[in-house]
Amino acid sequence: MQPLHYEDHTKHVYSLIETVTQAADPARALANHWPSTLDNMGKCYMVGAGKASLEMALKLQEICGSRLLGGAVAVVPDRLSRLNEPPKGIEVFPASHPLPDERNLLASRAIASIARKAGKVDTLIALISGGGSSHLMLPAGELTFEDLRSITALLQRAGAPIQALNTVRKHCEVLKGGGLLRLAYPAQLWAFILSDVVGDALNVIASGPTSPDPTTYADALKVLDYYNLRDAVPAVTGHLEAGERGEIQETLKPGDPILTNVHNLLIGNNRLVLEAARKHAKHSGWHVIGFEFGVEGEARLEGLSLAMRVHSLLDRPDRPLCYLMGGETSVTVHGEGRGGRNQELALAAAIHLDGLEKVALAAFATDGVDGPTDAAGAIVTGETCARARTLGMDAQEYLNNNDSYTFFDRLGSSIRTGPTGTNVNDVTIALIY
């Protein structure tokens, strides 16, 4: 076993990132969870949405062969551009994330069309992963694409957690909140789901296109009220108020008879990749003294909390130490800068690690895209703020302006993996040498 030196902390971080990404490989997860029941199925159709949909679609083509009659899949554009040739027999649509654009609307219409095409004797296979909420964007009633894009952007900027955001989206769109299952009925539907949601609630992942939804129009209005957005997009508010009055059908509810036609299979989540990281770290010589999953809350506060935990571990005699944390934080935007939740967490941590020796911390998104940036996250040490000061940069000012991306880009401390083709929340690693 090689000794672990602080000077190699970047190499150690990227080794753990590679372990996490491999553990979250969606094609492998689909193959490992493929039920023998489906080996005898007849003809089938495919739909997919989310950041892992392309990898799962390619694997499904391999599994099903000529039994696959066709399909429609919304995918991450960068992943699609890396293919030598597009998949055969299915339509593949590049789609935007986190904010939808017109491409998402085109993809959603095609997915809805395939769902309607599947008949009583057919099987529809749905490949669902994180990012699917943005990809499955089909306005309900008289709502427009711009209405949905506006309310989504406002809720994200306000720091609304995914559960609150999806409560609104499920009541404004056709495919969410069990809507895909409704369109596919009476076909048999099998959904293979890669979770990007803390707690793995199926009704929250991609806004639950194949799952019953316990929330109501009234709940969606409460979300708008909580974030003072009831008057922000009048068309959305009007639609939700009509639903509350009973003038528009509710989302699919628990106990609905059509749920007997769906099989929802969870094939991967954040806890799985954290366990892989823990095993890799232990094998590499680290004493893994913390293993925390399901972390939510404000990114900068979680960064502060983890930095304080590092302080508390400095006197332990059993170094080197590794602390692992998984989940998905959020950012309440007050400034005008650029960044994502992982970069903001790392920046907040760097401020409180300032001056410490032989410590490193990394936070990254498993999908390779942290917020609306091309970075997955960032690596910080006790030297990060000092390096910034030599460039005339004040870390606290960048944090106050929500400008973590610019801060780490200038320092060369960003984590860049490109879109990974999977999405199982975020991972944070603290290393004490």
DSSP 3-state assignment of 132? helix
| Residue 97: per-residue pLDDT | 87
Distance CA 207, CA 133 (A): 6
| Residue 206: per-residue pLDDT | 96
| Residue 2: per-residue pLDDT | 80
Q: Does residue 431 come out as left (phi exceeding 0), alpha (psi in the -120 to 50 range) or beta?
A: beta
Topology agreement, domain 6-21+271-432 and domain 26-268? no
Contact predicate 267/33, CB 8 Å:
yes
| Residue 134: per-residue pLDDT | 94
Contact predicate 159/332, CB 8 Å:
yes
The residue extents of the domains of the chain are 6-21+271-432, 26-268
Distance CA 206, CA 197 (A): 9
Distance CA 180, CA 202 (A): 14
Task: Tell me the mean pLDDT per 10 residues along the chain, length 433.
Answer: 93 98 96 93 94 95 94 92 80 92 96 95 96 96 96 92 94 98 97 94 96 98 98 98 98 98 97 97 97 94 98 96 96 95 98 98 97 96 98 98 98 96 96 98
Looking at domain 6-21+271-432, does it have CATH number 3.30.70.580? Answer: no
| Residue 84: per-residue pLDDT | 77
Distance CA 181, CA 165 (A): 21
Q: Does residue 302 come out as left (phi exceeding 0), alpha (psi in the -120 to 50 range) or beta?
A: alpha
Q: Which helix (H) or strand (E) holds 74?
A: strand 68-75
**In this predicted model, what pLDDT tens digit does every residue of 94-153 receive, in sequence order?**
999 888 999 999 999 999 999 999 989 999 999 999 999 999 999 999 999 999 999 999
Cβ-Cβ contacts under 8 Å for 36 (sequence gap 6 or more):
none
| Residue 78: per-residue pLDDT | 86
DSSP 3-state assignment of 119? coil
**Domain boundaries 26-268, corresponding CATH code:** 3.40.50.10180
Distance CA 100, CA 244 (A): 26
| Residue 320: per-residue pLDDT | 98
